[in-house]
Amino acid sequence: MNDSPRIHPVFAQALRIMIFCAVPLASFLAFSIQPMLGKRLLPVHGGAAGTWLGAMVYFQVALLLGYTWAAVLVRRPLRTQAFATIFLSVAAVLCFHLPAGQGDLEDNIGSVVWSLALSSLPAMVLLFSISPLMHGWLQRQGEKIPYHIYAISNAGSLLALVAYPFLIETSLGISEQAFFWHGLLFVTAALVAACGFILFKGRVTPPSSAEPSATEADEPMQFGRMALWLGLSALTCIGMLGATHHLSAELGSTPVAWVGPFGVYLLSFTVTFAGRWQPWMTRTCIAWLAISLSGYMVAKGFTAVTVNAGTAWWLVSLTASGSFLGNALLHQLRPARRFERYYLVLAVGGVIGGLCSSLLIPAMLARPTEFVLASIALLGIGMSWLMSLRDVGAVAITLVVLASPILGLGLRQIHTEAGDGARITHYRDVNSHIMVRTDDHSAVLSSETTTHGSQLNANEAARRRPTLYYTESTGIGRVLERLQAERPAMNVGLIGLGAGTIAAYSRKGDVYDFWDIDPKALRTARESFTFIADARGRITTTLRDGRKGLEKNSTDYDVIVLDAFSGDGIPAHLITREAMKTYMERLAARDGILLVHASSRYSRLFPVVAATARTLDLVAIDVATEITESAAASDWDPTPTEYLIVCRPDKMPTVAGWFPAEEDKGRVKHTLTRAPSAPPDPRLIWTDERNASIDVLDLGKFLFQP
């Protein structure tokens, strides 16, 4: 630009120092606020799709607004840039606050977006705009192509990604997080405002024009090149989100599940844009991607194989190789001058990738295969670059050659997975992916690698039998049968529907109220299983977050069952102190019992539930049940289970007596674990204000044990 001013060397050095502090700090804040606000929303709006989808839409819109603001502002005179930046910095600090902690706006995308916008939009626009805006300010001082600013920005995001689940979430409550975040926002805003002031006031010669130079104006911005920016940005985002989907299906929707895929995605930006990337590294990424794709297809591919240690490493390797390749090509295709348009297109590509992964692809693909398809597309683009192909037909042929064996293996896996004449039906929407496997003997409901229910269909008696985690000798079966012996009619509240198996216990006069946030669950429980249709009691199913449903419900219950697994864990807002208090208020009149289904491979919920219950003067025991085989009239299709039982202290001896160590000559074995008498670790007391997924997750077991 020919309006580039010369500023005093002292001011120039100060400007660089402040920019190199402001950019990573802004990215750290922009990333760390997202899980913080998400945790704040869940108790207020519930965990339905509208909550997380509204949050995603808000942050995507804020990202676009931030990059658009920077793209427009960087072309304006310095006076305009300085005053506009200072104004936005002041507005960001003054307007930020946590969303209201009270309300009933469940599953309302518009309400979620509006609530977040009122609390943080000026701050988010400022934070997202800082990196491209600072890029322009450095360029005015003679830095030809300061793309390393983009690397520094992503390094700040990476730091926030790792720090949040392992440090911030474990050490600070949401209000404390907001306090420190607001303080750092003030520091960031002050740095940015000071940069704008120095750049404008510190110049030696006044700007001669506000118009772009001829070199800038003449730099070609071909449509094909911009389309490639857009496509590469979208593909790497789709690949990263696809990998996160698979990990979340195993670990639950927690910040920990994002660390691997999102971490390597951000790391790829940091490394490729640092200014030291070489062409041979891009060629290496192509080979790395091909090897990772083959390994992942053999380890998991299109099947519902458990994402265990080996599979998880292949998944992260595939995400990393695709991200490094895509961003290496983006770095190579960067413009010499028109960086603001480049950054804006990359932001649009990321938004398109996010929206496609959340809205469009679930409507188009019945099973989550987009992760593999995005990797194939990136490999095809990499091969085209390697061979310098320019002909569209040649590129298409390359993609077909690469995709055919991979897709062939995937289709073979699908055929083998069904096997024995079984039929697998997939259901997918913005909430999740579930499938029902049906054969001559049974129907099984699962979401990815977590089984949620089964039904034997040999005859009418078999169809009425509770199975799997819910058989007669398990924690839920024994509690219901014992209470039924004492109470002629019961009210049972259930958070989580699954196949509706627990409805098999209902008697005439009983009322069983189910809540679930997934419309597919309500559909499959009635269409693919008959537990609800065959139930003798009155069964209601409501599409709603169970905690919100119980808060608005005045029914007194004998039992409340929490069976709402998301992957391998239960959403945190369902087992906090505030949630447990709500459950016990609904149980008090009938001297009822709370049961938490805790059968899990990698999560250990009992210490948290026991410690949290103790703050309400309640006690909890862990009942683990192993059933070696089915009996003639009970425990059909059993599996090892774990239930946590919460009740008043005076009632616990009676409840514990319902579970002898051994029954039926060792066919059934119960292991009871009681909470220690010593005061619990304060970190294990979960509240809406403070809860951390790493408290219950055995990450080492997931990553390193087959």
Q: Which candidate, 49, 182, 57, places its Cα nearest to that of 123?
A: 182
CA distance 143 to 243: 37
How far is residue 341 from each of residues 35, 228, 269, 345, 689, measured CA to CA in Å? 29, 13, 18, 6, 41
The pLDDT value given to residue 625: 94
- The verdict on residue 190 lying in a domain is yes
Q: Are residues 267 and 155 in the same domain?
A: no
- The verdict on residue 46 lying in a domain is yes
pLDDT in tens, 511-554: 999 999 888 889 999 999 999 999 999 999 999 999 999 998 88
Strands 491-495 and 511-516, by their bridges, are parallel
Torsion of CA 44, 171, 693, 163, to 10 degrees: 110
Q: Are residues 241 and 329 in the same domain?
A: yes
- The verdict on residue 179 lying in a domain is yes
The first and second tokens of residue 6, run together, are 């010369």
The total number of structural domains that make up the chain = 3
Burial of 117 (0-12, 13-18, 19+ CB in 10 A): middle
Q: Domain of residue 633: give its range.
A: 436-704
Residue type, 412: R
Using DSSP's 3-state secondary structure scheme, residue 220 falls into: coil
- The verdict on residue 478 lying in a domain is yes
Q: Which candidate, 565, 681, 670, places its Cα nearest to that of 621?
A: 670
The pLDDT value given to residue 633: 85
The pLDDT value given to residue 147: 84
- Please list the residues that pair with 435 across neighbouring strands: 426, 446
Q: Are residues 190 and 47 in the same domain?
A: yes
CA distance 697 to 248: 13
The pLDDT value given to residue 615: 94
- Please list the residues that pair with 645 across neighbouring strands: 595, 621
- The verdict on residue 491 lying in a domain is yes
- The verdict on residue 426 lying in a domain is no
CA distance 268 to 326: 9
CA distance 513 to 555: 10
CA distance 574 to 495: 9
Angle at 698 between CA 702 and CA 175, to 5 degrees: 125
Q: Which candidate, 521, 524, 555, 563, places its Cα nearest to that of 538?
A: 555
Residue at a domain's end among 170, 203, 236: 203
| Residue ranges in the chain modelled with pLDDT below 50 | 1-4, 204-217
What b-and-e string marks burial along 308-327, b requiring 16 or more CB atoms within 10 Å of the CB? Answer: beebbbbbbbbbbbbbbbbb
Q: To which residue do tokens 């009149």 refer?
A: 589
Q: Are residues 639 and 604 in the same domain?
A: yes
CATH code for position 447: 3.40.50.150
CA distance 479 to 483: 6
State how far Cα 253 lies from the chain centre.
4
The pLDDT value given to residue 391: 65
Q: Are residues 168 and 227 in the same domain?
A: no
- Please list the residues that pair with 444 across neighbouring strands: 437, 454
The pLDDT value given to residue 619: 95
Q: Are residues 601 and 464 in the same domain?
A: yes
Using DSSP's 3-state secondary structure scheme, residue 641 falls into: strand
The first and second tokens of residue 271, run together, are 């490394």
The first and second tokens of residue 301, run together, are 């591919």
Q: Which candidate, 318, 256, 251, 306, places its Cα nearest to that of 448?
A: 306
DSSP track, 291-349: HHHHHHHHHTTTS-----HHHHHHHHHHHHHHHHHHHHHHHHT--SS-HHHHHHHHHHH
pTM of the model: 0.89
CA distance 177 to 160: 13
Name the DSSP class of 686. Answer: -
Residue type, 54: G
What b-and-e string marks burial along 497-530, b requiring 16 or more CB atoms within 10 Å of the CB? Answer: bbbbbbbbbbeeebbbbbbbbbebbbebbbebbb
The pLDDT value given to residue 214: 41
Q: Are residues 268 and 402 in the same domain?
A: yes
Contacts of 294 (CB under 8 A, 6+ apart): 406
Name the DSSP class of 569. Answer: B
The pLDDT value given to residue 102: 57
CATH code for position 36: 1.20.1250
- The verdict on residue 664 lying in a domain is yes
Q: Are residues 446 and 308 in the same domain?
A: no
DSSP track, 499-568: T-GGGGG--TT-EEEEEES-HHHHHHHHHT--HHHH-SSEEEEEES-HHHHHHS-----SEEEE---BTT
Name the DSSP class of 607. Answer: H
State how far Cα 626 lies from the chain centre.
32
The first and second tokens of residue 196, run together, are 């704008």
The CB density around residue 411, as the number of other CB atoms within 10 Å, is 12
pLDDT in tens, 44-91: 888 777 777 788 889 999 999 999 999 998 888 878 888 898 899 999
Q: Are residues 264 and 380 in the same domain?
A: yes
- The verdict on residue 285 lying in a domain is yes
Q: Which candidate, 302, 240, 619, 645, places its Cα nearest to that of 477?
A: 645
The first and second tokens of residue 191, run together, are 């740095």
Q: To which residue do tokens 């930020």 refer?
A: 96
Name the DSSP class of 213. Answer: P
Contacts of 258 (CB under 8 A, 6+ apart): 161, 244, 247
The pLDDT value given to residue 207: 45
Name the DSSP class of 68. Answer: H
CA distance 287 to 291: 6
Residue at a domain's end among 390, 418, 446: 418
Q: Are residues 186 and 265 in the same domain?
A: no
- Please list the residues that pair with 672 across neighbouring strands: 623
Q: Are residues 115 and 193 in the same domain?
A: yes
CA distance 517 to 519: 7
- Give the H or E element holding residue 451: strand 450-456
Phi then psi dihedrals of residue 240, to 5 deg: -65, -45
The pLDDT value given to residue 218: 54
Residue type, 608: V
Q: Are residues 442 and 389 in the same domain?
A: no
The first and second tokens of residue 643, run together, are 């239930």
Length of the chain: 706
Using DSSP's 3-state secondary structure scheme, residue 191 falls into: helix
Question: Is there a contact between 168 and 161 (Cβ–Cβ < 8 Å)?
Answer: no
